[in-house]
Amino acid sequence: MTTPSPIMSPEAYVKACGGCCPVCRSGQIAGDSFDAEAAQVWQRIRCLDCEAMWTDVYSLQRYEDLERPAQVPEEEHARLLREVLRNRDLNPSDVLELAAGVEAALLALPAIQEKIRAAWREAQQRAAEEAEEREEPSTDIEPQAFLDSWHHGETDGHWSSPHLRRDN
């Protein structure tokens, strides 16, 4: 009399990548359709030799072959907006695309504004450093103060800087 082989442990089954019956080790198995929930998929399996039944459980490991839809260019968003304003019989998906583009632009606006402010501050700092090197007055002044530093020449009727001397 032969003794039956022990049932394959779940760990040994995974290590063998499934594909055989955990009871009789037969490769003659059939599976039902897959069921899924969240990050798990499972399938009822039946051995065609010993008629044992079990469930294979698959877990999400990664994704592959990612494809992104082409981004709609800004010009296309502008065209769609003009079309929405002129034509009320638009395809709803066009309106949704436009709304998504507007939403993305609004979400990006604070970051864009901060980049502009940072570039402005950097340009002002650079101009102040260059002026300091040339021993010129700083350009980092209020517009009215700048205009006040200039005066209207009485002799020739032109505006001139107090820093420039006119020797006749």
Residue 111 forms part of a structural domain: yes
Query: Does residue 156 fall inside a structural domain?
Result: no
* Residue 34 resides in a domain: yes
Name which of 36, 61, 34, 59 is nearest 45 in CA terms: 34
Within this chain, do residues 87 and 38 fall inside the same structural domain, yes or no? no
Q: For residue 33, what are the domain limits? A: 10-59
Q: Based on the fold, state whether residues 25 and 48 are members of the same structural domain.
A: yes
DSSP track, 71-111: PPPHHHHHHHHHHHHH-S---HHHHHHHHHHHHHHHHHHHH
Structure tokens at 146: 């700048």
Q: What is the pLDDT of residues 75-131, one digit of tens each?
A: 777 777 777 677 666 666 777 777 787 888 788 888 888 888 888 888 888 888 888
Compute CA distances 42 → 36, 53, 72, 88, 108, whole Å: 6, 13, 38, 48, 42
Same domain, 86 and 129: yes
Same domain for 102 and 54, yes or no, is no
- Residues 98, 55 within the same domain: no
**Residue 155 within a domain:** no
Assess if residue 17 is contained within a domain: yes
Residue 39, domain member (yes or no): yes
Q: Give the Cα-Cα-Cα angle 40, 29, 7 (nearest 5 degrees).
A: 80
Tell whether 138 is covered by a domain.
no
**Number of domains the chain contains:** 2
User: Is 139 inside any structural domain?
Assistant: no
Q: How confident is the model at residue 149 (pLDDT cuts 50, 70, 90)?
A: low
Contact in structure between 21 and 4 (CB atoms under 8 Å)? no
pLDDT tens sequence across 22-81: 999 999 999 988 888 878 899 999 999 999 999 999 888 888 888 777 776 777 777 777
How big is the chain by its Cα radius of gyration, in Å? 38
